[in-house]
Amino acid sequence: MKIFLDTASIVEIKKGLAYGIIDGVTTNPSLVAKEGREFLPLVREITALLPGPVSIEVTASDPEEMIAQAETYAAIAANVVIKVPINLEGLQVVKALSGRGIKTNVTLIFSPSQALLAAKAGATYVSPFVGRVDDISGDGMALVEDIALIYDNYDIATEIIVASVRHPLHFVEAARIGADVATIPFATLAQLLHHPLTDAGMERFLKDWEKVKH
């Protein structure tokens, strides 16, 4: 399973890349707003940090305007993936962009039917938001299972990005299901590694090492 960092923070991306386990980055307008920076220079800086895919979201509602935004962002670097919201206009945009060889990540996926239509329009990736489904007492990972089953039924090549990840169990379940990608917030990275028995084991080894003549 590929791991993307779900952030627009240059500091977090640099740290994550240093760990050697980050394959890509996803951003959204809320994550970009948190950085308090001018948009295009930030996108240029992020895309230069790694060769892997970097999702940048269009914000217009008119398809022609979305396509114009997408072309501007895609021209910045070869690793830009255009994030497009799932709706009728979005499908039209995905179709047009895939025809021009521009990769897309269809976002705000909350149902298997949305994921199937996004794939039919030519989406490179779909992003089901598991945490937000859980937030309203749904089962976010069941949504991912359904999408994976449907894509498998028809040999659909669109990759599933498990998004809106809130905790390590989402990550583990994503891998169990066989999702292509999990995009995780920086804080979740450390949580994935933490285990009290690893900490206790290290502490004991280091204490015992003090008794060894060296």
Q: How far is the CB of 149 from ligand E4P (least distance, A)?
A: 22
Q: Does 124 bind ligand E4P (CB under 6 A)?
A: no
* Buried/exposed code over 135-167 (b: 16+ C-beta within 10 A; e: otherwise): eeeeebbebbbbbbeebeeeebebbbbbbbbbe
Asked whether position 7 contacts ligand E4P by CB under 6 A, the answer is no
Q: Which residue is nearest to ligand E4P (CB)?
A: 164
Q: Which residues are within 8 A (CB) of 177 and not within 5 positions of it... i.e. 6 or more apart?
A: 141, 144, 145, 148
Work out whether 159 is an interface residue with ligand E4P (CB under 6 A): no
Beta strands in 102-212 (DSSP E): 104-109, 125-128, 159-162, 181-184
Considering the complex, what minimum distance in angstroms separates the CB of residue 50 from ligand E4P? 16
Tokens of 107: 């976002």
Q: Does 125 bind ligand E4P (CB under 6 A)?
A: no
Instruction: Tell which positions 28-47 bind ligand E4P, by CB under 6 A.
Output: 28
Question: Using CB under 6 A, which of 54, 183, 188, 189 touches ligand E4P?
Answer: 183
Tokens describing residue 171? 């990550």
Partners of residue 184 on adjacent β-strands: 5
Catalytic residues: 83
Site residues (vs ligand E4P, CB under 6 A)? 6, 26, 28, 107, 127, 129, 131-132, 163-164, 183
